[in-house]
Structures are given as structure tokens and as C-alpha cells.
Structure 1
Amino acid sequence: MSQGLIEAGKGAGAARAAGSAGVSRRTFLKLGAAAGGGLLLGFSVGALGQGDTTDANAARKSVIGGDGNEAPQPGVFEPNAFVQIDRAGKVTLIMPKVEMGQGTYTSLPMLIAEELEVPLDSVTIDHAPPDAKLFFDPLLGGQLTGGSTSIRYAWEPLRRAGATARVVLIAAAAQQWQVDPATCHAKNGEVLHDASGRRAPYGSLVDAAAKVPLPQNVPLKAPKDFTLIGKPTKRLDSPEKVDGSALFGLDVRLPGMVYAAIVNCPVFGGTLARVDDTHAKQIPGVTQIVKVDNAVAVIGAHTWAAKRGAAALVIEWNEGAAAQLSMRQIVGELAEAAQNGQGAVARKDGDVQQAFGAAKTRVDAVYQQPFLAHATMEPMNCTVHVRADACEIWVGTQVPTRTVDAGVAVTGLKPEQIVVHNHLLGGGFGRRLEVDHITQALKVGKAVNAPVKVLYTREEDIQHDMYRPYYYDRISAGLDANGKPVAWQHRIVGSSIIARFAPPVFKNGLDPDAVEVASDLPYDLPNQLVDYVRQEPHTVPTAFWRGVGPTRGTFVVESFIDECAVAAKTDPVLYRRNLLGKTPRALNVLDVATRAANWGPPVPKGQGRGVSVMHAFGSYFAMVADVTVTNGEVRVNRVVCAVDCGMSVNPETIEAQVQGGVVFAISAVLWGEVTIERGRVTQNNFTDYRVLRIDEAPRIEVHIVQSTEAPGGIGEPGTAALAPAVTNAIYAATGTRLRQLPVGRQLMNAQSA
């Protein structure tokens, strides 16, 4: 892959600069065409009527399925894609999503290349500028990357962008040759006319194509005609990541740049009282000490100077009201809310109380899941240069428009004065959906007369993360004489991320993320009551974590389904099969996974096998985990996954994402836990916030179900489905039911009791 994957071509670079400067879409499109000397096709339907309504054939703007002149459709939002083809024939995709290891820099170009009929390695990529209208994702409500939505968002719009460009280029060639366009076709970046043997590379046609009226409702390829989509394809961004030329936020180097090491108040909600920086200023290379709200930043000529200076500070904090906050208090309040709180109803089917009264057997349980850190491999960082009339930000972020908002809020500048240079992300996992580190960098940058890179050490990162919430669930089922659930009640208690992150979505006390999976089970349950009680953990900040709501919901539901199977004296796979008759795709993945795992025959003593089923992110997932338990230590030996994510774009990406999700989840399930004592996080590095090591990784098998359904998400299901498969396997091995994570500590406690 060419360096264009990381560094934009001229036209795309001009588009980025235009978007960052806040120019109009009319100017954006004209600028791109002029700078690239070629054809710029823009496709946008989000927020119609809110932006420019330039004539389609004058500025090459097209509404998908139309000519750009239709009346606006209020409330309808669809994604955006931009394809630039220059006179050299180079194709540039202005990427509407960021790359953080999930494979979008390969799978999304595949959609364009398939319909445009160009080789995949000829498509170069540029980060999209912050533009909430142009790059609006209706699945997420903004210009965001997350929620396993990238392929779902781009599946039709990017294919249509490529198809429309191809049809226009064919029409331009046919006009030049004075032949019927139907007698021409495109292949490998050229238009061909077989009858005469003539051929024209795309680059030679872009000027003529600019004069061709844009077609409406261009048909897309039928799946049977795909030559690229669905085929295993090597990652295009791997070479740069292997040879070190790929640019992450941490790699930013600027003339005159200085470095900042941050020391944050260890207590949530605390502030800076005073600091003695005498010794810090004596460290060679330390140039400045900056005080900001709840932190002190030491500025140095290099990272080592800044870090040594930070260690030499003598700081006194105003610890505030949270100084006595402990896990005992947090969990106690969650338990009380679960018992006495008023729940917002997420689902209510039938008469649950009457069904419980008629049930033969009742099963009750309480499940708890801890705070978790993100611990991204690339430590949190942000480089800023704040000047009187402009501000530049270099960062890897999942939320470019929110980054601009942070710049405006801190500097007081106008949005068009904020320029964001987005980079590859060394892991996101939801952490880089937040802008707290960007805001802090901007505050530091206001006091520094130079570009400054603000770095979090691993300790600062783990102790000042925004954590996956602690959740407390009470769940009950009433079983009939055959062991089938006839009553189901589930109360979910915990922090609401949605209420903070997207307030309009938090309605009537209900957080849809908190109840996801729990409120939409694949099982046939006639009487259900699922509700949610919001209980915030005082000053502890919470945020999305890879797998979001389904991670928490699937652990509880799939563990409890196993408990019901035990109460019914039924094999857990057979028990699930009997409840999945109305969800054939879920039943199918369960069958695929259990066959591949050879479910049924007994396993050696000390070993166990567990299963889970999940429908989330538009995909269906089943997982079988094999574990060994020795003296309280759990080792995951093998994980077999069956995936129905609809039509697959790149099977290699799917397999890699499932593998990565499983490994990420094993770390959390076995050891992941953030605990609060005296208002501060007690963990500080990978020594006590443990992650899976390479020699501990299990064998992971991924079986992709062929499907003609629209694509679902794949980045998070592997993480979300893992926990109950492991805990169910531990029960099979030991007879100990674990209802609280992480299992390492809980299993030790259970076996010593």
C-alpha cells in the first residue's frame, strides 16, 4: 500500500483543510475538484436542507438515489462518502471512520473498489475532516466511530458512491467514442469497448466525466457478481504498522515541540491546593510548570525531563467530599437501589407476577460486574498548539467533531479556527470516544508558547481513566413443570453513560445501552419484566467500554440461562435450543458452534465446557469455551465461535476481530477489576491490572456463517459473548457458580469458603 494510506493526496488534503477550516460544502466540493485536477464525487443525505443546495451537475454533488434537487426529507439521516479520482487515475477515499485496529482502512475501501472496478491497492485514504453534517452516522447520532457500526453505516452508501462514479466514467468514455454506454464496461480502473478494442484509463476521463449529468438510482452489483467483497483480503495498513511508518498520535513530532507530563489529583473530584516545584525546576530540561484545575503539568524539552520533573513535585491536594469513597459504599448503594429503587421499564410482556405464582420452580440470582479500565496499548496523548487566533490539535480520536467542540470550549476560538489532525489510534475500546484528555491538553497548551505534547503515563492512564460502570443485577425466573421459563424478571442497576454522553437518548429514566441484550433476548419467554435503575457512583467517571451494553447484559442473561438449565436438569445447549425456535439465526450459530466444539462427550476432570448465545450489534453469535481449573487458577484452553454477521466484507477482518475481542475479554473476565478506596483507584499498572499474555492465549476458532442478510457489526461481539461461556465452563468443571467478576478472585474466595 502506498504512503497515501497515511498521507493524503493533494485533492483530499485540500478537502481536509477546507473541512477543518469550516468552509461551506459548496467550497469544499469545488476546492477538492480544483486541487486534485480531477473528479470529486460527494454523496450526502444526512441533514438535508441544513447545508448548501448547490446544483448537482455544477458542483458534482449527489444525493444518493437522486440528483441533489429533491425536497429535503426532515429526520432522515444517511451516511456520507467522498470519492476523488485525479487525472493520474488515483482514487482517494475520504474516510468517514477512524482506524483503531478494527480493519476499516481495508473493509471500507473494499466497498468502493468493488463497485468502482478498481484494484483495492489503488485506493488511498485520507482522514475525514470534522463535519457533523457531511459525515453523520445515523446509527450513532453524529460523526463517531464505535458501536460496531462502520460496515453497517457504509454498506450501501460507499458501494453506491463507487457504482455512481463508475457509471459516470463509462458514460464519459461512450460520449467520446460515440457509442452506446451499454456496450462499454469497466475493469481495473479502465473503461473498455470490446467491439472496437478501445480502452480509456479513468484518469483520462475525469474532465469529461465532470460534464456528464449524474445518474439516479444506479443499480448495485448482485452478490453473485462480487469479485472482492466476501473474499479474504490482507490488511492494507499492516505494512506501515510493521515498518513503523504508520502515524499514531504518539508519533507526532513538530518543530519547537515540548513535552508535558501530567500529575492529576489522585482523588476523583479533588482539586489542586498548592505545589512546591522548587526541585522540579532544577531538573535539566524542565522549562515550565503549569497548574490546571485538578492537575499539574511539567513541561520539558523531552519526555524524560518532564517525567523526572513530575516526580520531583511536592503537591498538596484539596481531596474533597470523595476522599472517603470506597467500594463498600458504592456496592451498598447499588444493592439498595436494586432492592428499593423505582425502575424505568425497558420491556414488559404478559403478567409476570401471575406467571411467578403459577410457576413450579423459582430461580433467583444477583450478578455483579466491576469497574473496568480501557488500558489502551497506545497511552493517552494529545498534542496541541494554542495561539491567539488559531488552535491545532494532533490526536487519535473516535470523535473529531467533539474534539473541535473541546477546542472551542477551552480556547474561546470559533470552530473554523480549530484544526484537527486525526491519526491512527493505538486502541480505542471506547476510551477515545472521550475528550477529557484533549480538554486537559488544551488547558496546558494555553499556558505554553509552543506546540506541546501531553502524555499520560500508564499509571496516570489507569488511575484517571473513565471506567466501564459497576453494574448490579437482580434476576429471577419461574419455571414450569418441564423446566421452561414462564416468568422472567430482570432489574439492572448502574451508572448511565448515555445520560452524560447523549442526553436526548436518555428518556424517562431509561438508558437503552444499559439494558441492551437484556431487553431483547433471542429466547421465547412469554412473561417478561426488564427495568433499569440509574445509580451513579458519586464522582467516579464512567464511559463506554468495548462491547458496551451487550457485554454486561450477555454475562448476566447467559449465566442465568445456565442456572435455569441446571434447575431443569437439562443440558445447557439443549435447554437453549428449546427456547430458540423463533430465532432461527441464533439457533443456527448455536448448532454450528457446538458441532465444531464437539459438545456432548465428557471432558477430563478439572476441565469444563461452557456456552453462550448472543444477538447484538446486528449479528448473531455463539461461543463455546473450554477451561481448566487448577488450585483456583483458570486457564482458557480453547474458544470456538460461530458468527452470523450477515454478508461478510472481509472474512479475515471478521476472524481477527473475534480473536482480538476474545483475548480482550479474557483479560477482563479472569482479572479485570478497578477498585476504589479513599476516593482513588488502587490499581496503577499492568502489574495489578493484569492483561492476558501471549503464552496464555487460547486456541480460537472462528466459523463464519454464510448469509445474504445485510451486514451486522463485528468489532465487539467477541468481547461481549465471552464472559458467560467461561463462567459456565468453570461451573461445569468445579460445580461453583460465579455471579461476580473477575472470576480469579471470586473463585479463590468460593473455594476457600
Structure 2
Amino acid sequence: MKRRTLLLAGAGATGALIVGFAALPPRSRLGEPDALEGAPEVALNGWIRIGADGAVQLVMPRSEMGQGVHTALTMLVAEELDVALDAVQRVPAGFDSLYGNVAMFVGGLPLHPQDREHPGAGVRATEWMVRKLARELGLNATGGSTSVADLWEPLRLAAATARAKLLGAASLAWRLPVAEMRCEAGVIHHPPSGQRAGFRDLAARAAITPVSGVQPKPRSAWRVIGQSVPRVDVAAKVDGSAGFGLDVRLLDQWFAVIRHAPALGGSPGAVDVAPALALPGVERVVRLPPYAAAGGADAAMAVVGRTTWHAMQGARALRVERRGRPAGDLDSVAIAADLAATARGGDGHVFHSRGDAATALASAASHVEALYEAPYLAHVTLEPPNCTARVAAGRVTLWLPTQVPGLARAAAARVAGVDEDAVDVHVTYLGGGFGRRLEVDVVAQAVRIAMDCGGRPVQLVWPRDEDIGHDFYRPAAAAWLRAGLDAEGRVTALDWHSAGDAIVPRWMARTLPALAGPFDLPDKTTAEGLYDLPYAVPHQRIAHSATRSGVPVGYWRAVGHSHNAFFSEGFVDELAHAAGADPLAFRLRLLGEAPRHRAVLALAAERAGWGTPLPEGRARGLALHESFGSVVAMVIEVSARDGRPHAERVVAAVDCGTVVHPDGVAQQLESAVMFGLAAALHGRVDIVAGVVQQKNLPDLPLLTLADTPAIETHVVASEHPPTGMGEPGLPPVAPALANGWFALTGQRLRRLPLAGPEAAA
């Protein structure tokens, strides 16, 4: 496919071009066959090709990091081409803008859910333009719980079009009516005459057969979508043949280990490399500059060895003069105090306003106010950051687990001083992503090391203490929440102000320097989960003050929703208590304008047995939250274990639109519960004198089997297009657990993590 360049300029004649661009619909996402030019297979469009053996090949642009996206997307193709799931092969996508993620950009707009449900002309125009711009930018990213939502229509249309082309090719070849043709199991056949031909026999003719008016199958004809099928990656992960980044092994490969200065923002000064080079198996030591220092990614040293063990021993033997952060050492306690003060006193950017919150608050019969706080969090993917790079003969080759292959390619090209076309990227399975692999720091480092290794491939790996100690953290945050109630206990006003670092401008400065502007625009991720409440409160003012703590921050699973849901749903529970109302009834009364949310909440409460007796020592807490287009309600049965909250049973209901793979939905929700409980009970990053205190998994415990509750998932049937599922199950976990603890003990927890004594109000 020919790549198009979008030029945006000032005024005059160029202004007319911009107006013309705005008036046109977004470019087709079907793609042309020449997007796969040069391949031995026959391309029927930009997404579907037929292999020499007749197998259907799906051009796969999204990364598999355990979320099951390869299975769900393969199901869409299998459905439209009437083939078995295992008859569809997945081949890596190239770097054409066709494979960019449009839904991620549209989802990043700071729109209220009600505006999305009932969009006016302004909202429709905004989404239209963002969709067009995203299509031209073509950023291939796996994130934001958007993979299925983004490709729901393009992949079904691409497969349906391929099917129509194959049927048309048979009709032309046999001179028989296309309406009498049938497509089944990789074969086109004509029942009346008995003629049959496999996909491979018709592929070349099908590629040049014109079709029009193609539509995907109606829901009533689905045989694959909506069924629970075995995941396509299970067998390889069970027998060990699945290839992750750390599994890469190449001829003459060396291994490298990173070593940063202990303090965030610090750097190595004078270095004595002799003790390291004296060790057997150590090949060299490489000094690494601070790539993208404006947003993190500090300077470091790397030791190269014949094995990872040799490199680790060499890294430990280095004698390094440690330099601190030039602007002064960071301290998480001081940062938390500043955030609390900012939340209490600042005005911030108003993300949502309705009515007159100040006047309504002043005239309210009663008031409730509270400060909620959340700490920094590390990603701690089970597979630590790694990248294998080879720089030879003017080309760069990468093997790595990444959520952004195009950005990895661009970073490698910048470091090596070559064109992007001279960089090849091989995306492996990801041993967890959670937003950490939206970063390309490890790519830049690996390429710089490889440039010093004479054409040998080098695998760079970060040891766990480096991973935790130099992450791009989920921002710490605080929220000062105030509400007014009338004499009947109805909420009349909300005035909420939060504070915390903005992720998007920092991430863009690191990964998209050409697009990162000199000014910070309001970042939706800072206030999502606060400004976009479904509750019908007549007077609202929801604002956020974006801070600059100096701590490197990045995307973390569920992003702002991960802590803002704890703030909002914990406070809503406080309002129910202040009104003397049952938490369920209180929320249902506020959801008069949100039938979708009501249905989800009612289903979760019914399946959890809300209001029915529980054994002694147990209580229920609930939370409701929308994120990434999906609504999740969660009821957690809570008990006390060693004086701390313990989840005994989790009942969740979800509306995520059309469900492609039911088992996948359940698995993602269970994963989010486990991930969310571990974070709610144990997750924190403490920074003292600039140094992260947590070093390894014992400092940030994962949930054990003994701590794992029974988890139930219930889905609200929907005919809307699919929405996100990788992240929406996480936000309700912490507030439901905290609300259950209050119901059990009368103790209100307003600070994460919930297990420490400092969590109590």
C-alpha cells in the first residue's frame, strides 16, 4: 500500500486543503492487496491473504500479552470466511498506516459517557476529525483495551470482502450464478453441479475480482463469534514452544545487563570497569546516555557478557561513582503531602461542569468531605524489560516484546542513525505488558549496546531491581472530594479536585518527540473516573491540577481509572452512609439517566445475593465503574485476616458490548481482580532520598492461591459493538474491597494500599 503523508499548515490555500480534508470521510481501513507487495502469498486486501497451501492468513498488528486478543481477532476472520479457528494463521503486520489503532485516539477524548451515548453535532464532528487524523497517523499500538473494539469492523469487513472475492472468482471461472455458490472449510463449491475448488486454486483470480456492497454476516448467522473456544496461544504456551523476548537465541549472541545510578534522575559518574572486565565471560562495558531524559530513561551502564549470568556478575563488579538528580533527590512522602495540599487548595482544569456547584454546595443541608490518596505503582511484568538487537551492514534488527512496534522501530533508527526502512522488528509474545511495553527506552539502550558489539546480536535484560527501581510509574494522586446533600439525603452538588502528574505529555516527550508540543494540554487520563460519573447529580464541578513531581510516570493498567475509581466509589459509599441509605439503593436512585449502568449494577447485586444474610465475620462492599467503554459492577464479600481486608468472594457483572469470546471476557475479568487485589493490598512504591525502596517481588507481593477469592463473571447481553475488556475489571476492585471493610468494621479506608495502618482515615 502506498503511504500517504498528511500535511497540516497555516492559512491561505493550505487552509482550503485542511477544510477539504475535514470534509472527506476517513480513509478506508480495508487496504489494498499491494499492502503485502512482494509476499509469495496472494493478498486479497490489506488484512487477508491466502497461503500457498490454501491456508487463510490474517495480518496481525496487535501484540499478545496474555489478554487473548489473538484469539478474539482470529475468531472474527474465521467467522466471515467460514473456516475453523485453527485454519487461520497469523502473520506479522508491516508498518503501513493501515494497521494503526484508531479507537485508542478516539477513546482518549475527554468526553462524558452521556455525550458518547447521545452525541450532539459537536461531539460527532470531534470524533470524526480525530478518527481521520488517527487513520493518517497510523500508530500501531496495543493498549487502552481497544484491540477488538478497533478492529471489530475492519477485520470482519476484510474477511467478508475476501469471501466475496473468492465466491466471485468461482462464479466467473465456472460461469455459474454467484448466489448458488457456497463457502465452507476453505472450499468454494456449487451444490447443483458439484464443482469444488479450494481457496488456493481461486486466490489469484479472486485478487483481481471486483466486488461491491459487501457487508459482514448478520448476527443471526454467527457460528463462531460469541462461542467459547480454546485460545490459539494455549498449546504453544503449555508445551514451551511459545517465543517470548527472553527466549530469543541467535548465532554468536551476547547478553547485556543494565545498571543505573540508584537515584531516580541520577547518573553514573566516574566508573572503574577493570573489576568487571577481569571476570571470565565479560566482554565489554558500554556507557549509555540518558535517552529521552525529559521524561525519564536515565543514563546507565551496561555490561556485556557471553551469558546473562556473566553480564550480571560484571554489572555487580562495576565501581561506579553515583550522582544524584541535579534538581535534588525525590521523596514520595513529600510528594504525597504536596499532592494533598494541591488537591485541597487548587482550582485546576475543569474537566466537567454542570449547574452551579459552588452555590448548591453552600446552600446544602449537610456536607461530606474527604481526602483520598494513592501511591506510585510499578508495573512488575513477570517478564522484565528486554530487547535483542543486531546492528550490521547498515541495518538494525530487533526481537522484543513490545506494545508499539512502530515506535520501537523509530527509536532504533534514531539511535543507529539510519532510516526507519532499515530497521526490522520481530514482535514476540509479551510476558505481561500493563503499559510498561508502551515505552521504548530498552530499545534505545539495546541498539546502542549492539552498535558497540561488532555486528553480534545482543540481548539486553533489566534485572528485577532495575525494573522496579527505574520504571515509569503509575502516578501518585490525591483527591479532595466535597458533596452537598439536601434534607432528604439526595446529593445536590459535587465539587471535586484532584492532583497528580499527567502521563500523556511525559510519554509523548519520550516516544513521539516530533509530535510533543512545548505546552502541556489537559490530560484526560488524570481525571478519568472522576469527571465521567454516571450519577445524576444536578450540580458538579470536577477539576484536576496536573503536577510535575519529577518522578517518571507512564501508563499502568486502567491508567487514571485505576485509582480514581477508588476515590469516586469510596466517596459515593460515604455519601450513602451519610444519607442513611443502603449503598445499592443509593446508587440505583442516582442512575436514572444511565439504564446501562443500572442493569449491570442490578445484575451484580442479584447474583451476589445483596441484602441476604452472610456468615459471621463477613460483609459485602460494592462498586460501579465505567472505563474503556465497558461498565463493571462488583460485589466483594470481605472478611478480616490478620486485621486486614480479605476478599472471600467476588461477583462481577459487565456490559462490554458484543462478546466475541465469552471465556476470554471471564479470563480478563478474573485477571483484573487478581491484579487489582494485589495492588489494593500491597502495591506501593516508596522513594527515599531519590531511591525506590522496593527491590523485588517479596516487596510487592502477588496474590497467592491462598489469598485468591472465588470469582464469578456475569455478562449483560448487548448488541452494541465490543468495548474494552483488558482493563475495566480492575478499577472497581479497590473501592468494593474498601467499602466491604467499612461495612464489616466501620473503619473507612481512604488511602491505598488498604493493608497498612496508614490507610485508615
**TM-score of the aligned structures, taking structure 2 as reference length:** 0.87
Which residue of the partner structure matches residue 522 of structure 1? Answer: 534
Question: What's the CA shift string for 1:704-738, capped at 9, x where partnerless?
Answer: 11111111110001112211111101111111111
Rounded Cα–Cα distance in structure 2 between residues aligned with 1:452 and 1:34: 30
Q: Is the 8 A contact 1:132 1:401 kept in 2?
A: no
Instruction: Report the AA paired with residue 545 of structure 2.
Output: V
Rounded Cα–Cα distance in structure 1 between residues aligned with 2:668 and 2:610: 24
Which residue of the partner structure matches residue 119 of structure 1? Answer: 84
Rounded Cα–Cα distance in structure 1 between residues aligned with 2:99 and 2:433: 23
Which residue of the partner structure matches residue 348 of structure 1? Answer: 353
Query: Please, which runs of 5 or more residues in structure 2 have no aligned partner?
Result: 5-28, 106-133, 290-298, 510-514
SS in structure 2 opposite 1:720? coil
Rounded Cα–Cα distance in structure 1 between residues aligned with 2:507 and 2:41: 41
Instruction: Report the AA paired with residue 483 of structure 2.
Output: A
SS in structure 2 opposite 1:743? coil
Deviation of residue 682 (structure 1)?
0.5
Rounded Cα–Cα distance in structure 1 between residues aligned with 2:679 and 2:327: 26
SS in structure 2 opposite 1:147? coil
1:494 aligns with 2:500: yes
Which residue of the partner structure matches residue 106 of structure 1? Answer: 71
SS in structure 2 opposite 1:718? coil
Deviation of residue 264 (structure 1)?
0.7
Which residue of the partner structure matches residue 6 of structure 1? Answer: none
Shift in alpha-carbon separation, 1:712–1:201, aligned structure 2, 3 A: same
Deviation of residue 439 (structure 1)?
1.5
1:477 aligns with 2:489: no
Deviation of residue 625 (structure 1)?
0.7
Q: Work out which of the residue numbers 531, 553, 559 in structure 1 matches 2:543.
A: 531
Instruction: Report the AA paired with residue 283 of structure 1.
Output: L
Deviation of residue 414 (structure 1)?
1.0
Q: How do 1:175-574 and structure 2 match up within 5 A?
A: 175-213=172-210, 215-293=211-289, 294-321=299-326, 324-387=329-392, 389-449=394-454, 450-502=456-508, 509-538=521-550, 540-574=551-585
Which residue of the partner structure matches residue 628 of structure 2? Answer: 617
SS in structure 1 opposite 2:549? coil
Which residue of the partner structure matches residue 733 of structure 1? Answer: 744
Instruction: Report the AA paired with residue 84 of structure 1.
Output: R
Which of 629-638 and 546-555 deviates more? 629-638
**TM-score of the aligned structures, taking structure 1 as reference length:** 0.88
Shift in alpha-carbon separation, 1:558–1:505, aligned structure 2, 3 A: farther
Question: What's the CA shift string for 1:649-696, capped at 9, x where partnerless?
Answer: 000100000000110111000000001000110000011111111221
Question: What's the CA shift string for 1:53-105, capped at 9, x where partnerless?
Answer: xxxxxxxxxxxxxxxxxxxxxxxxxxxxx101134211111102111111111
Deviation of residue 320 (structure 1)?
3.0
SS in structure 2 opposite 1:324? coil
Which residue of the partner structure matches residue 148 of structure 1? Answer: 145
Which residue of the partner structure matches residue 40 of structure 2? Answer: 36
Shift in alpha-carbon separation, 1:290–1:508, aligned structure 2, 3 A: closer
Instruction: Report the AA paired with residue 318 of structure 2.
Output: L
Q: Is the 8 A contact 1:740 1:746 kept in 2?
A: no
Which residue of the partner structure matches residue 712 of structure 1? Answer: 723
Which of 655-664 and 294-303 deviates more? 294-303
Rounded Cα–Cα distance in structure 1 between residues aligned with 2:32 and 2:443: 27
SS in structure 2 opposite 1:267? coil
SS in structure 2 opposite 1:719? coil
Rounded Cα–Cα distance in structure 2 between residues aligned with 1:138 and 1:223: 22
Deviation of residue 271 (structure 1)?
1.5
Shift in alpha-carbon separation, 1:563–1:154, aligned structure 2, 3 A: same
SS in structure 2 opposite 1:514? helix
Count of aligned residue pairs for this structure pair: 688
Instruction: Report the AA paired with residue 266 of structure 1.
Output: P
Q: Is the 8 A contact 2:530 2:568 kept in 1?
A: yes
Instruction: Report the AA paired with residue 94 of structure 1.
Output: V
Question: What's the CA shift string for 1:229-272, capped at 9, x where partnerless?
Answer: 00111101100011111111111111111011111111111111
Q: Is the 8 A contact 1:90 1:122 kept in 2?
A: yes
Which of 299-308 and 501-510 deviates more? 501-510
SS in structure 1 opposite 2:275? helix
Q: Is the 8 A contact 2:45 2:162 kept in 1?
A: no
Deviation of residue 28 (structure 1)?
9.4
Question: What's the CA shift string for 1:99-132, capped at 9, x where partnerless?
Answer: 1111111100111111111111100002222334
Which of 562-571 and 477-486 deviates more? 477-486
Q: Is the 8 A contact 1:382 1:453 kept in 2?
A: yes
Rounded Cα–Cα distance in structure 2 between residues aligned with 1:717 and 1:308: 42
Rounded Cα–Cα distance in structure 2 between residues aligned with 1:328 and 1:30: 57
SS in structure 1 opposite 2:413? helix
Q: Work out which of the residue numbers 583, 596, 600 in structure 2 matches 1:589.
A: 600
Shift in alpha-carbon separation, 1:420–1:546, aligned structure 2, 3 A: same
Q: Is the 8 A contact 2:344 2:497 kept in 1?
A: no
CA RMSD of aligned residues (A): 2.2
SS in structure 1 opposite 2:382? coil
SS in structure 2 opposite 1:36? coil
Deviation of residue 547 (structure 1)?
0.8
Rounded Cα–Cα distance in structure 2 between residues aligned with 1:492 and 1:711: 31
Shift in alpha-carbon separation, 1:746–1:26, aligned structure 2, 3 A: closer
1:164 aligns with 2:161: yes
Q: How do 1:538-687 and structure 2 match up within 5 A?
A: 538=550, 540-687=551-698
Which of 26-35 and 140-149 deviates more? 26-35
Instruction: Report the AA paired with residue 617 of structure 1.
Output: F
Q: Is the 8 A contact 1:87 1:204 kept in 2?
A: no
Deviation of residue 616 (structure 1)?
1.6
SS in structure 1 opposite 2:729? helix
Instruction: Report the AA paired with residue 370 of structure 1.
Output: P
Q: Work out which of the residue numbers 48, 59, 63 in structure 2 matches 1:94.
A: 59
